[in-house]
Amino acid sequence: NSFVTRTNTCGELRAAHVGQKVTLYGWVQYQRQGLFLVLRDFQGLTQVIIPQDEAHSHVRELLSSAPLESVVRVTGTVSPRPLGQENPKMPTGDIEVKAETAEILNSCKKLPFEIKDFIKKSEALRMQYRYLDLRSFRLQSALRLRSRVVMRMREYLCNLHGFVDVETPTLFKRTPGGAKEFLVPSREAGKFYSLPQSPQQFKQLLMVGGLDRYFQVARCYRDEGSRPDRQPEFTQIDIEMSFVDQAGIQRLIEGLLQHSWPEERGSITTPFPSMTYEEALAEYGTDKPDTRFGMKIVDISDVLRGSNIHFVQNALNYPHGSIRAICIPQGVRYLTNKDLESLKESAKSQFNQEILEIIHRPDGSLKSLLTKFLGEKEQSELIQALDMQEGDVVLLAAGEHKQVCSALGALRLLSANLLEAAGLALRDPTAFHFLWVVDFPLFLPKAENPTELESAHHPFTAPHPSDASLLYSDPTKVRSQHYDLVLNGNEVGGGSIRIHSAEQQRFVLEKVLKEDSEVLSHLIEALEFGAPPHGGIALGLDRLISLIVDAPSIRDVIAFPKSFRGRDLMGNAPDYVTPEELQPYHIQVSWPLEEKEAKKN
């Protein structure tokens, strides 16, 4: 209550305050028949008794007629609630304030929706009236928790470990590779700035400048179009250190999260477990495994290798062919035939992967198209390999290793959703399972042209020390010093040890990635002036907070997010500008024909 004219907030009055005269400010949340109202502010609720005597008729008239969500000031005396009328669900439920004077500071017009968390409203409407949605307890709570976490992170990094908080520019130039960047026109004809997708180059240059330890709550920008649960502008906890290795970065982040973790969410255990990229793909079918539940992918190639099944032998003859499966616990009970068909259809449409089901009957026998080709010994080995219990359902896939694992990984998550929807508790919603994924490939074939390579992370990532020589002979086999932090199946951070040799950086850009190194000449030149070995990481703050508070979307932990299509529905941005406003930037808009006609009309 410092610096303001209230004496107390609406959430702090208790029995100990009885008899005190108080002044409260807040919004009218509820009013009942001119007898009492509930006043709300950022901290909570207080019940205010409306006086019924003639001496206070003005106060009665004022408060009885105040529309919901009007802002009012109330002065009165704290009293105990009558016996039996206490409300144990409210922190202030033992008291009420008997109003003596009141003032409506601002009346509220008819609301587009009620300010209550349980009232259903469309996301578009919520975003159009975001300033009203912000009054909800859910959003207030998420934003305040976010603020506390960031403050604790600053404390850990700056006060305890000597990091320097540095702001880096948001107007820069295009970076080769990575996500698409937003362009900003300049007054020089044909020249544009780019909004950085991360402060990557600047933080490396700060290490060249001898700053040793850098940190920033960084605003980042990516022009990724319409992608669910992504934002064109987002926030990351950006970190870089000199003279550090991968293990050092990992221990730093574990300590940072442990220090800043909200007490009400329990404690987290360190060190976090670690898994290689190849292990994650083989066991979970993804590089961001959700380790809160089992249903791991199992390699059953050896069990079926001796069989005469045509599609099995075909798959095993591929250069990287394998037969793998997942076992869905109690699938017979919880999954319908329609569910199983939808799972198979999903694998076919997304991964072009055929799926075969095997059902473990209550009598111990197997029901499948496969069983007539398998002897009792092979069937027994299959049950043992997959640890099948009676009533389980197995989904089997055969083909190229990566495709098979990716398809089964997706089916594993879809199956978990179906099981939970049917009532089987599989994933503990209060559990937080962190995991490091390491040893990623340094390069991947381009999707549009598999004969060319692109960076799996970004072009500044250093090769694994054991694979350094392969960089020049067979770059497709090089592992990187890149590491991802995964929480409950979501990537919440990623980083790497960087290339600090100008010669190696130039080779990666020009010879491996076929990029024009001139675009990065400033960085390459900086590496020639005694650049220290360095590495870093960035944590996605929006994603991390949304997982901590169990929000359905990252938009629920951002004060003013963009819509699914990247629009600000409240301010109607982006918006048109006039030709006169574009003129200094040497830009003319070329309208599509249908829009030209629409503008004429």
Domains, the chain, ordered by start: 15-106 (2.40.50.140), 141-275+434-556 (3.30.930.10), 293-422 (3.30.1360.30)
The least confident of 111-115, 343-347, 447-451, 591-595 is 591-595
**Mean confidence (pLDDT) of the chain:** 94
pLDDT attached to residue 262? 97
Helix or strand run (H / E) with residue 491: strand 490-497
Are the C-beta atoms of residues 11 and 91 closer than 8 Å to each other? yes
The residues facing 108 across adjacent strands are none
DSSP string, 360-429: E-TTS-EESSSGGGS-HHHHHHHHHHTT--TT-EEEEEEEEHHHHHHHHHHHHHHHHHHHHHTT---S-T
pLDDT attached to residue 318? 84
Between 597 and 100, the more confident residue is 100
pLDDT attached to residue 179? 75
CA angle 116, 120, 125 (to 5 degrees): 95
Question: Can you tell me the distance from the alpha carbon of 154 to that of 541, in angstroms, rounded to the nearest whole number?
Answer: 13
Residue 369 predicted with pLDDT over 90? no
Are the C-beta atoms of residues 154 and 165 closer than 8 Å to each other? yes
What is the sign of the dihedral through the CA atoms of 143, 146, 147 and 148?
positive
**How large is the average pLDDT for residues 479-504?**
98
CB-based contacts of 380, cutoff 8 Å, min separation 6: none
The residues facing 396 across adjacent strands are 325, 356
Q: CA distances (Å), 596 to each of 292, 574, 575, 588, in order?
A: 54, 18, 16, 14
Helix or strand run (H / E) with residue 27: strand 21-32
Q: Which residue bears the tokens 């937080």?
A: 432
Do the strands 36-40 and 45-49 form a parallel or antiparallel pair, or are they unpaired? Answer: antiparallel
Residue 465 predicted with pLDDT over 90? yes
pTM score over 0.85: yes
- The fraction of the chain above a pLDDT of 90, given in percent, is 87
Q: What is the pLDDT of residues 30-81, one digit of tens each?
A: 999 999 999 999 999 999 999 999 999 999 999 999 999 999 999 999 999 9
pLDDT attached to residue 597? 62
Residue 364 predicted with pLDDT over 80? yes
- The fraction of the chain above a pLDDT of 70, given in percent, is 98
pLDDT attached to residue 481? 98
Q: What is the pLDDT of residues 383-394, one digit of tens each?
A: 999 999 999 999
322's tokens:
């394998």
pLDDT attached to residue 596? 58
CB-based contacts of 128, cutoff 8 Å, min separation 6: 112, 569, 570
pLDDT attached to residue 178? 66
pLDDT attached to residue 601? 57
pLDDT attached to residue 600? 60
Q: Is the link from the previous residue into 445 a cis peptide, with omega within 30 of 0?
A: no
Q: What is the pLDDT of residues 282-340, one digit of tens each?
A: 999 999 999 999 999 999 999 998 888 888 888 998 888 999 999 999 999 999 999 99
215's tokens:
């940190």
DSSP string, 176-212: SSSS---EEE-SSTT-EEE--SSSHHHHHHHHHTT--
Cα 222 to chain centroid distance, Å, stands at 15
Residue 226 predicted with pLDDT over 80? no
3-state secondary structure 41-73: CCCCEEEEECCCCHHHHHHHHHHHHCCCCCEEE
Band (175; pLDDT cuts 50, 70, 90) = confident
pLDDT attached to residue 593? 66
CA angle 22, 27, 29 (to 5 degrees): 110
